[in-house]
Amino acid sequence: MTDSSDFDIVMIGHFARDVIVVDGVRTEACGGGVYYGSLALRQLGLRVGVATRVHPDDLRLLDELDRAGVAVHADAAPATSGIENTYDSADMERRTCRPLGFAGPFRLDDLPNWSARVYVATPIIAGEFDLAFVEGLARRSPVALDVQGFVRVRDGEQLIFKDWPEMARGLSLVTYLKVDQAEAELLTGDSDPVAAAKKLADYGPREIILTRSAGVTVWAEGEVTQAPFRPRSLAGRTGRGDTCFSTYLGMRLTCPPDRAAQVAAAITTLKQERPGPWRGTMADVEALLGS
């Protein structure tokens, strides 16, 4: 069936200029869900739009998206967002985050008049979106939300986790919810991914996508799928969750949840082996799934 929407997926969130620190070695890199997610979705051949905010001096950084065939709408911001991610655990599951900049909040009136099969809200820091913004998106199309943009809060020179006071209302508007292990524990008090996913689903999201170092757990249609990450290296750990979430959503446009989870886990495995966004092919994915 042909879909009349302008795009398969429109991603909304701050594009980031990040610093990644591993064992004391600092590397500057582009980041944010709109970066890792949109480029991975283009590798799947999907029609993708990105709405973001950056300082005018950094508009050139968006050329990479344009070259990949991503439609980009960028509003001028007083600063470009960024995070310093310092990893200090063997499996790189936990990280210390320090804000480097903030591009300001989105308003519905600033968004381009694009239609999409799914709107993906991928905020990196609390304050990008408010509840009214999510409500407005939900009136347009199904919404996929990364909860980090509501629980990862700037506190001076740190980013810390805080409860989301409006969580019950917010989650009731969401069709697809992305959380990582730490966020799931914060919001549910449960360290077991399946139990945490079930608790979050009780608030209304139809599907829960929970990532951790071992892999992805998906709660969808009352069923659980767990698919492992099997990277030979963690050189590309940053962007793990963004890649997994976006490719799961992309595959869900045509596939059942279990297949979408398996493909997303395979893509995320390959992505973690090298820095930057996933630039592989479905042939690479099928080879890994068949190994």
Query: Quick check: 270 pLDDT over 80?
Result: yes
Query: Quick check: 225 pLDDT over 60?
Result: yes
Residue at token pair 């911001």 = 77
Q: What is the pLDDT of residue 105?
A: 97
Q: What is the pLDDT of residue 39?
A: 98
Distance, first Cα to last Cα, the chain: 33
Over the stretch 63-110, which tens digit does the pLDDT of each residue have?
999 999 999 999 999 999 998 988 765 556 567 888 899 999 999 998
Query: Quick check: 13 pLDDT over 50?
Result: yes
Task: Calculate ∠ Cα 183-185-159, nearest 5°.
Answer: 40
Residues 152-180, mean pLDDT to the nearest whole number: 93
Q: How many CA atoms lie within 13 A of 143 on its CB side?
A: 23
Q: Which domains does the chain have, with CATH numbers?
A: 8-289 (3.40.1190.20)
The residue among 103, 12, 13 whose CA lies nearest residue 56 is: 103
Query: Quick check: 230 pLDDT over 60?
Result: yes
Q: What is the pLDDT of residue 235?
A: 86
Q: What is the pLDDT of residue 2?
A: 44
Residue 121 · residue 145 · CB < 8 Å:
yes
